Structure 1
């Protein structure tokens, strides 16, 4: 081991006998709890009721988890649809023997799409303001939640970075190798902290929070620009069929990030809300 290498060989779960507590799942739970507390403060600042906040939490959890899972299957592992269909929606695998796996294989692109859809339904059924009003506010806790999700990926030694070609980096021993790689998960998590702080400052300290759609657009531009750049340091994930279609110029994660960045720029600089 060289001085600049970090050997990473953590335990991934606590075996409680009747149940395995996966730390990756814990990171998702932490993300939702902290997100709930941040949103609670925002809602009270906006004069919204606790009942509407409770409904928001339910819509967010169901929508984001389902979307993240479906996004992974559609974009990266479509073979699960025919090979092990029920494992898509349940924290178990059934192929080659029954096993509790927790919710693994979650894609942020799917989560983002599902967040927009679930917020549309939430606004229509509960809040009755505008979809952009709620999106401008929920993106703040979502940005912080993304930090914990990437830390969970690091704990699981997944979504790993490329080899550094030097003594600098992290050795993921659970992958059965002894090479230093970029800790791409931590790069991403660290950048998302700044995305969260920028959004938080913009909401509390500027008038841009009054410009409908601006915070939502800023979130899309910042978060997916980070994702686009960090992808250069990641190993390609399975199912890179979009990348293959354009000659591997960009990988799947980068291709899927571009539309979100474009949409974000639209809401920041072009979109004008309808006036009655």
Structure 2
């Protein structure tokens, strides 16, 4: 089917242009902030675990936003297009032209949360847990913005009934990989996170963050089978055999440490070890 002709610029007032991509970041951060405030107010989810309050969440949004943007840009530069940016370093600052990497943004957000926790004297794992629950919201809006921009399109899919001919992807019908990622990394992962919170709450610090790491890594690796590898990188190992097979992409490779880190967090959290130092004053640790 033809690509829907949606202007990447959502609002234009004179020389000022606001793009859908920027609105996606704003929507993800705003709705995530609202959701995080609701989570920290839900006493029944926390037990004796010390948590950030609503005011701390208000400040945390700024820290995470900075870490997300700086880390996302740096990650894209280092892992996806280093040679081009070394040839023209000023292009690193041109974020409005695109070029953000989720794995870099995740690393930047983690560093920001660690620093925030130290400044505020809070245990870091409960902060990880809260942010993990709402992160799929931002992933959903981000992938929808990728689709509107007509970027990060999928592999050729001539027999797929909902394939799309992207304006910059040639005349070949392709998988709408951005929508597949919005569904898997956004909607499905959000449902998984909400179910995990409903069952386990935040009583074992790091458990929910670990579940997110596992869920995101699996969803991203599956999505990569539908997504066309970045042209400057191609397949890192192996080669494409057909539309849904082939070698290893950068997205798959970067998801492996996320998967392993998630598994490690779940194992340690289930052992009860992460509760030490995360309990409210006067509370005794328990398994």
Q: TM-score, normalized by length of structure 1?
A: 0.86
Tell me the equivalent position of 1:121.
115
Stretch deviating more after TM superposition (161-170 or 19-28): 161-170
Distance in 2 between residues matched to 1:173 and 1:230, nearest whole Å = 18
Deviations 1:224-246 (A, max 9, x none): 110001101111114428x53x4
Tell me the equivalent position of 1:250.
248
Q: SS of the residue aligned with 1:197?
A: helix
Q: How far is the alpha carbon of 1:135 from its aligned partner?
A: 0.1
1:221-240 equivalence runs, <5 A: 221-240=214-233
CA 1:176–1:200 in structure 2 vs 1: closer, same or farther (change >3 Å)?
A: closer
1:53 aligns with 2:57: yes
Which of 127, 133, 137 is equivalent to 2:126?
Answer: 133
Distance in 1 between residues matched to 2:203 and 2:27, nearest whole Å = 29
Q: How far is the alpha carbon of 1:48 from its aligned partner?
A: 4.3
Deviations 1:71-99 (A, max 9, x none): 111110113432332332344xxxxxxxx
1:9 aligns with 2:5: yes
Runs of 4+ in 1 over 6 A off after TM superposition: none
Q: How far is the alpha carbon of 1:247 from its aligned partner?
A: 4.2
RMSD: 2.1
Distance in 2 between residues matched to 1:56 and 1:224, nearest whole Å = 24
Q: How far is the alpha carbon of 1:167 from its aligned partner?
A: 5.5
**Unaligned 5+ runs, structure 2:** 44-50, 240-246, 278-287
- Count matched residues: 258
Distance in 2 between residues matched to 1:15 and 1:55, nearest whole Å = 30
**Unaligned 5+ runs, structure 1:** 92-101
Q: How far is the alpha carbon of 1:54 from its aligned partner?
A: 2.1
Q: TM-score, normalized by length of structure 2?
A: 0.83
Distance in 2 between residues matched to 1:88 and 1:201, nearest whole Å = 39
Which of 36, 40, 43 is equivalent to 1:43?
Answer: 40
Given that residues 177 and 227 in structure 2 are in contact (C-alpha distance below 8 angstroms), is that contact kept between their aligned partners in structure 1? yes
